Amino acid sequence: MIKEALNTMSDLWSLMVGLRVTKKYFLDPQVTVRYPWKAVSNIDSYKGHLMLVGGKKDKGLAKCISCGMCAMACPSNCLTVVKRKAPKPTPEEEQALAEAKAKGEKPKDKTPKDPEKFLYDFTLCSLCGTCMENCPVGALDFTGSPYLAGYSREDFHFDLVQVLKNQAAIEGVDESAAPEAGQSEA
């Protein structure tokens, strides 16, 4: 009888101990952030969708050499690299080519190496990074953005060459207009 009562007491005590923890955390500051007004800051290492890396001189021109290693390595076939076609040689160039051929030299390929189109289907991508690891020139990278959203399937089909160009254009404008923008904001 006494044992039973003691047991009941210890059982009730276990509930009190739990409530003490609840009270402690109830008074603690909030650990979550209210998203649209405030965002988390730990997204630096996050892997978002792919992007092409621009060259050092011209940020709008991709480093990519259109070798197609990424498309071959991709497990989900979400990449398509469209190579540039060789430009139509001018009459002078044609003549030079013919001369070179006559001498037995191999004509130099003057086709620009950067891709005409770099089609990327984000709906298929699993963000594994295999393409990045297999790129011989380091022309691919992940954007750190987790906020990509769209209304339709087509919103996730990118031409990364175009994306890079737009990005560079925006950045170029930003850099030149930076002081003004800063003043107007202030």
Partner 1 sequence: MTRYQNMEQLTGDFYTQNFAKTAREGSLILNLGPQHPSTHGVLRVIVELDGEYVMRAEPILGYLHRMHEKMAEVKTAAQFIPNMGRVDYGHAMGWNWAFVGAAEKAGGIEVPERAEYVRVITCELNRIASHLLWWGAYLLDLGAFTPIMYAFDDREKILDILQIPTGSRLTYSYFRIGGVAQDLDADCIRRIREFIPWFRSRLPMYKDLVSDNIILRKRIEEIGVIEQDVCRRYGATGPVARGSGINYDVRRAAPYSVYPKLDFEIPTSDLKCARGRYDVRMAEMEQCLRIVEQCLDMMPEGEVLVKGAPKPSWKVPKGEAYFAVEGARGKIGAYVVSDGGKNIYRTKLRAPGFCNLSLFAEVSRGTILADAVAILGSLDLIIPEIDR
Q: Near partner 1 by CB under 8 A, which window of 43-51, 94-102, 157-165, 177-185? A: 43-51
Which of 61, 65, 73, 124 touches partner 1 (CB under 8 A)? Answer: 73
Q: Is the Cβ–Cβ distance between 154 and 164 less than 8 Å?
A: no
> Of 20 and 103, which has the nearer Cβ to partner 1?
20
Answer yes or no whether residue 27 interacts with partner 1 by CB under 8 A.
Answer: no
Nearest distance from residue 159's CB to partner 1, in Å? 24
> Of 119 and 124, which has the nearer Cβ to partner 1?
124
Which of 67, 82, 127, 163 touches partner 1 (CB under 8 A)? Answer: 127
Which of 72, 98, 169, 173 touches partner 1 (CB under 8 A)? Answer: 72
CB burial of 52-68 (b: ≥16 within 10 Å; e: otherwise) equals bbbeeeebebbbbbbbe
Q: How many CB atoms lie within 10 A of CB 48?
A: 16
State the number of binding residues for partner 1 (CB under 8 A): 28
Please name every residue paired with 132 in a beta bridge, in sequence order, or none if there are none. Answer: none
> Of 73 and 82, which has the nearer Cβ to partner 1?
73
Alpha-helical segments (H) within 112-159: 130-134
Cα gap 101→127, rounded to integer Å:
47
First to last CA, the chain: 76
Q: How many residues does the chain have?
A: 186
The contact pattern for partner 1, residues 1-20, with x = CB under 8 A and - = no contact, is ----------xx-xx-xx-x
Cα diameter, the chain: 114
Q: Is the Cβ–Cβ distance between 61 and 175 less than 8 Å?
A: no
Nearest distance from residue 126's CB to partner 1, in Å? 5
Of 79, 74, 29, 54, residue with least CA distance to 172? 54
Which of 22, 152, 183, 184 touches partner 1 (CB under 8 A)? Answer: 22
Answer yes or no whether residue 39 interacts with partner 1 by CB under 8 A.
Answer: no
List interacting residues with partner 1 (CB under 8 A): 11-12, 14-15, 17-18, 20-22, 25, 31, 42, 45-47, 72-76, 126-130, 133-134, 142
